[in-house]
Amino acid sequence: MDLSAVRAELPVLERCAYLNAGTFGPLPRRTVAAMEQRLAYDLAEGRSGKAYFEAVLALRERVRDVLGRLIGAPEGSIALTGSTTDACNIAVNALRLGPDDEVVTTDLEHPGLEGGLRVSGARLRVVELRTRPPEEALAALEAAITPRTRLIALSHVAWTSGVVLPVRELVGRGIPVLVDGAQGAGAIPVDVAELGCDFYTVSAQKWLLGPDSTGCLYVRPELVEGLRVAFPSYLSWKRGTFELAPGAPRFEPGWIPSGSLEGLLASLEFAEEAGNGRFARARAMAERCRGLLAERTRLVTPPGQATLVTFAPEEDAAELVGRLAAAGVVIRDLPGLGWARASVGFWTSDDDLERLAAGL
Amino acid sequence: MDLSAVRAELPVLERCAYLNAGTFGPLPRRTVAAMEQRLAYDLAEGRSGKAYFEAVLALRERVRDVLGRLIGAPEGSIALTGSTTDACNIAVNALRLGPDDEVVTTDLEHPGLEGGLRVSGARLRVVELRTRPPEEALAALEAAITPRTRLIALSHVAWTSGVVLPVRELVGRGIPVLVDGAQGAGAIPVDVAELGCDFYTVSAQKWLLGPDSTGCLYVRPELVEGLRVAFPSYLSWKRGTFELAPGAPRFEPGWIPSGSLEGLLASLEFAEEAGNGRFARARAMAERCRGLLAERTRLVTPPGQATLVTFAPEEDAAELVGRLAAAGVVIRDLPGLGWARASVGFWTSDDDLERLAAGL
């Protein structure tokens, strides 16, 4: 699919230079069409009956399969969730952390991960990475690991600085590694088997262009049996029993609207049609964005990271974002940091980036 | 609104005798129209920007207000959730139950409540009500309370037998009472302040005719500060801090699609337009259903309960449900019990019930 075909499928791009997939991706036409079709069906036919439920369960299975394929996860290792927040809470609670346990994390994390860690009861060792260059991150994280460390929890790509964190280098120490993949999956190539992590979260409404409140949690298969299911739903159990269902689906917190499942499948199909070349294109455009911004502002994101480009404008970041929005350029600010962030995707055009640069 | 106006808004009723609101209610046309309108907006305009988020947060506030009004909950006592399952898990985890604690519950509960209780670590005292007449329920429940009881957790209306359980009579003992209101709210008048319970869950996709995965948890205001927030989302915190937000919204597990919020508001508006007379009409139709079924099968639900009518057919219940579905009559069976269940709403017609009776 060439750029014009990609962009034709994402109508918001006609309206503005949309550079905020790190919050919500642009929606494909086919996604909304699939959701509308499902809603029309539910309205006319009702949401009931054996065939209805079997079809929705089959739809869940298909979504698990495609999401799993996208991140290199083996069968049975994907639990559908509504968000990375859900997924982080599930993973943190699965480990039965207590006050004698320590968690190593960073000062770059989203409340969706940090919130769950804070209420876990464990002691947090928050490694300061915000002020360090990426090549010093691994040593700083390693220095925080102690014999009491029961979890290493960090982003694949930091939502704040846009930096890729050293996940692969942290695994294999006998300590579970939970990866917040909200800014990873769909943005850069992800292979959980190769990464070797124990948990990986996906926010499908961002870089995978899915409907609101869609995503999943990967759980390393060898781990599943020993983990606690803290928020079970009827999907957690073998039907008619209170015996846990096999594999990661036991962690699924509940029903997902069938329209959202259909819409997500359409979005994932769009991503797959765009091909694996989309990752290289998005990376190249992110570097191009850096280049354009470097001439006009102070960059926060170093070269060679992922698809977020964060910078520290001299003016108030929220005011800048508002001024750009009025000019048809959509980015976001990062409250408390004074930073602004552009999200660059495989759908981004030179013109989008030039409009951003011109607005600074 | 008269019956023909009500039914004209619920197109599935043209297709079949739809008697399964206890699973999913019939969807109003205006609900789907509101969802489609929102999807079209998100597709064209994108899901981003200050105005966008403020509008969705305001929408949440409106939904909280209307749901609160429907169940007599004061301001600040409603947390939006995706399901009664979510709500039960939130409430059970809020109490920090441990192995020295006991929970009194019943053998009539849904996995959405029972699952959370089972993984809580507390000892369950499951009171057998299935074989008892409703007037013996209170004494049986009271007999199970001990000095170790830290929670009484039960349905308002049992999803299985259709019986109304003695909630009001169980409060005021210094023991938190969690009410699974999945078959209560929207089906019968509910006033949580009058009931006096500590937690009440709402499944809005059933009797309130809302979109999939909508609902809420009422938390008695006096309790909020002392409870644990086990699955925080960024909505749990005062913006930019890790200080808990005031009131029950701190328990909200995450984002709800804006289309679902708009659809739910439309459904709730429809329910309010139908007026308070809808409860008496639904009750009268449920008694009429009992009367018609009593001539043909063995009733499980005693008279004077709510809007579920459960019966024990001589033939296999799942086969009966399939046979009725083929004849355009939609009810459900209750696996493991050999029972079948009809859900009767204010939208149900005499003809719907006669078609059910004729199919037996």
ipTM of the complex: 0.97
Give pLDDT, residue A270: 98
Considering the domain boundaries, does residue A118 fall inside one? yes
Who among B43, B112, B259 is closest to A29 (CB)? B43
B48 CB near a chain A CB, below 8 Å?
yes
Considering the domain boundaries, does residue A32 fall inside one? no
CA–CA min distance A336, chain B (Å)? 7
Contact A255 B82 (CB under 8 A): yes
Are A236 and A294 part of one and the same domain? no
End position of a domain, from candidates A217, A245, A271: A271
Give pLDDT, residue B127: 98
Closest chain A CA to residue B12: A44
Contact B233 A83 (CB under 8 A): yes
Are A12 and A64 part of one and the same domain? no
Are A145 and A266 part of one and the same domain? yes
Considering the domain boundaries, does residue B126 fall inside one? yes
d(CA A278, CA B214): 35
Considering the domain boundaries, does residue B90 fall inside one? yes
User: Which residues of chain B register pLDDT less than 50?
Assistant: none
Are B289 and B239 part of one and the same domain? no
End position of a domain, from candidates B216, B240, B271: B271
Residue B113: give its domain's CATH number: 3.40.640.10
Give pLDDT, residue A41: 98
Pairing of strands A329-330, B339-343: unpaired
Contact A119 B229 (CB under 8 A): yes
Considering the domain boundaries, does residue A259 fall inside one? yes
Among B223, B258, B269, B243, smallest CA distance to B36 is for B258
Give pLDDT, residue A214: 98
Contact B289, B342 (CB under 8 A): yes
d(CA B102, CA A97): 23
Candidates A231, A236, A262: best to mutate against B (most CBs of B within 10 A) is A231
Contact A99, A123 (CB under 8 A): yes
Contact A27 B16 (CB under 8 A): no
Are A207 and A63 part of one and the same domain? yes
Are A47 and A18 part of one and the same domain? no
Contact A82 B232 (CB under 8 A): no
Domain count, chain B: 2
Are B225 and B291 part of one and the same domain? no
Give pLDDT, residue B359: 96
Are A192 and A253 part of one and the same domain? yes
At residue A117 the predicted structure's pLDDT band, cuts being 50, 70 and 90, is very high
Residues A210-257: tens digit of each pLDDT: 999 999 999 999 999 999 999 999 999 999 899 999 999 999 999 999
Are B141 and B285 part of one and the same domain? no
Domain membership of residue A262 as a residue range:
39-271
End position of a domain, from candidates B271, B306, B327: B271
Are A171 and A93 part of one and the same domain? yes
Give pLDDT, residue B295: 92
Among A33, A8, A60, A343, smallest CA distance to A208 is for A343
Considering the domain boundaries, does residue B196 fall inside one? yes
d(CA B324, CA B339): 14
Q: With contacts defined as CB-CB under 8 Å, which chain B residues touch A230?
A: 89, 93, 119, 230
At residue A47 the predicted structure's pLDDT band, cuts being 50, 70 and 90, is very high
Average pLDDT over residues A40-57: 96
Q: What percent of chain B has pLDDT above 90?
A: 99
Are A251 and A332 part of one and the same domain? no
Considering the domain boundaries, does residue A30 fall inside one? no
Are B180 and B51 part of one and the same domain? yes
Residue A294: give its domain's CATH number: 3.90.1150.10
Phi, psi of B110 (to 5 degrees): -85, 150
Considering the domain boundaries, does residue B33 fall inside one? no
